Chain A
Amino acid sequence: MDIAELQAYGYFALTATLVVVLYGYIYHLYSKKKDADGHDYEDYSNMALKDDITDTPVSAVSDDKEK
């Protein structure tokens, strides 16, 4: 087995992994629809729409600290 062959296997394995991860991510996004904190992903659009410094964050860092 020379370096080129190793390279080919390595390439294939890594690409396959990344493809699986990407599709897993698609499945995850559309099946769960909500992230770990229970926020709907689409809520995050509000990070741009309500971005005044006085607006309430979609998920505040300080929430974590209070727990």
Chain B
Amino acid sequence: MENRPLEYDYTVAKMFMFTTIVLGIVGMLIGVILAFQLAFPSVNTILGEGLAEYTNFSRLRPLHTDAVIFGFTLSGIFATWYYVGQRVLKVSMAESGLLMFLGKLHFWLYLIVVAAVVVTLFMGITTSKEYAEFEWPIDIAVVVVWVLWGMGLFGLIGIRREKSLYISIWYYIATFLGIAMLYLFNNMEIPTYFASGGIGSWWHSVSMYAGTNDALVQWWYGHNAVAFGFTVPIVAMIYYFLPKESGQAIYSYKLSLLSFWGLMFVYLWAGGHHLLYSTVPDWMQTMGSIFSVILILPSWGSAINMLLTMKGEWQQVAASPLIKFMILASTFYMFSTLEGPIQAIKSVNAIAHFTDWIVGHVHDGVLGWVGFMIMASLFHMAPRVFKREIYSKSLMATQFWIQTLGVVLYFTSMWIAGITQGMMWRAHDEFGNLAYSFIDTVTVLHPYYTIRGVGGLLYLVGFLMFAYNIYKTMSARPVEESELQNASPMGA
């Protein structure tokens, strides 16, 4: 055996980078279709009446959310884990055959689950619970995938050279534990086929919780799936990639530790804000409201820490589109973690709930924060994984501006739509009768739905540019190890 120096092994990271991009395109494409279906209902039969069952809004909607959450974002989380994990623990996956095997198994099983989800959701096999639509056979497979990731995660930590765990690792661990707990408890269900002695569809199940309890568990899950899918792991990414790309040490490592514990403690309580004015007990609603507002502190702790990391180095933001992505992501993180608590205030929620303002909030978080951060991470990883410079810097800059415009169009139109509709629903005339019928409050939204569709389309276009840029990077100019220390090498 030849005596080669030890290197980090990015095989599994590469695989997940691939699914991040493919599933990102799928999820966003479906999203754009959905947006135009709301603006122009004829898009529901885009592939003809015969296929209307599979192309109409109601079948595609869960596919969109799940493709973006469990396809794009989760792949991004895994891809960055298999990259960052090795580096900050200073141990290569090549050193352990078992970990390599687990990683690959993790990927392939994940891919199988994704395929199963796509097929079943198109068929309309769903439990209806948002972001937990999968029926029990898939739930079991999800648990297996998750355990495989956990084994790889703790296995790598077990053989590390660096004794202390970098802050990003803390966040990855929290992601693993949080989702594991939430997913298990929310998906407690009884397969009816077995419970009834073999009657009906074998995949059907019934929730162990009923009504209000089910709602409480679901939104405890739903809100915290956002916490541990869209916040915690993305914070893990920015804590690694921003310092690394800019060459700046984190402004205050101590603050990052504090924010971590603050976030862990506060986040879980906030789920009740999805159920304000519902039939869950009042004190839980109030608790949800209060903790949502407190949540600003740890969230901003991280975000400000990131912005201050760039202190004295702001020329890098102007010079590098990659840094731009991360700084904008961080800014959107601050923005949506302020917007969320505002919406969780009871009197604001009375207007905002059930409207498009909530949809807008989700999207400035996911498009602005999650999407930008994952793309930035992949841009940073690509030169190191492929040992080549990023294909085009100008393409990256163009993409940045197109997508930023897309996000801005998206959330501004949804703000207006949401508040308009919320106010119209509650308007009474001088005799105390409702001022508008429901359909009045729908037709008025048409222009905003159209603008939103355009915004989403711009973001998708930008994402396709991203995919192209990464694809071309694989055959761009090879680079030396020395060029990869901090700022990523980019072609014109």
Which A positions have Cβ atoms within 8 angstroms of B? 18, 22, 25-26, 29-30, 35, 37, 39, 41-49, 51-55, 57-64
Contact = CB atoms under 8 A, between A and B. Distances in A.
B13 to A, nearest CB: 14
Contact of B258 (A29, A35, A51): A29
A22 B262 contact: yes
Given A22-B265, A26-B258, A48 B166 contact: yes
Contacts of B162: 47, 57-61
Contact of B161 (A25, A29, A42, A61): A61
A24 to B, nearest CB: 11
Contacts of A45: 243, 249-250, 253
B244 A30 contact: no
A22 B164 contact: no
A61 B160 CA distance: 7
Given A42-B254, A45-B243, A58-B164, A51 B249 contact: no
Contacts of B8: 53
B257 A29 contact: yes
B161 A47 contact: no
Contacts of A18: 265
Given A22-B261, A42-B254, A53 B6 contact: yes
B7 interface: yes
28 contacts: A22-B261, A25-B261, A29-B258, A30-B254, A39-B164, A42-B249, A42-B250, A42-B252, A42-B253, A44-B166, A44-B167, A44-B253, A45-B250, A45-B253, A47-B162, A47-B164, A47-B166, A48-B87, A48-B244, A49-B244, A49-B249, A51-B87, A53-B7, A55-B90, A57-B90, A57-B162, A59-B162, A62-B161
B88 A48 contact: yes
Nearest to A22: B261
A18 B167 CA distance: 21
B247 interface: yes
B413 interface: no
A1 B250 CA distance: 50
B403 interface: no
B168 interface: yes
Contacts of B449: none
Contacts of A29: 254, 257-258
Contacts of A61: 160-163
Contacts of B168: 48
B240 interface: yes
A2 to B, nearest CB: 14
Nearest to B159: A61
A15 B167 CA distance: 25
Given A29-B257, A45-B250, A51 B161 contact: no
A58 B252 CA distance: 17
B164 A59 contact: yes
Instruction: Determine which residue in A26, A37, A48 has the highest number of CB atoms from chain B within 10 A of its CB, and name it.
Output: A48
A62 B253 CA distance: 24
Interface string B292-320: 00000000000000000000000000000
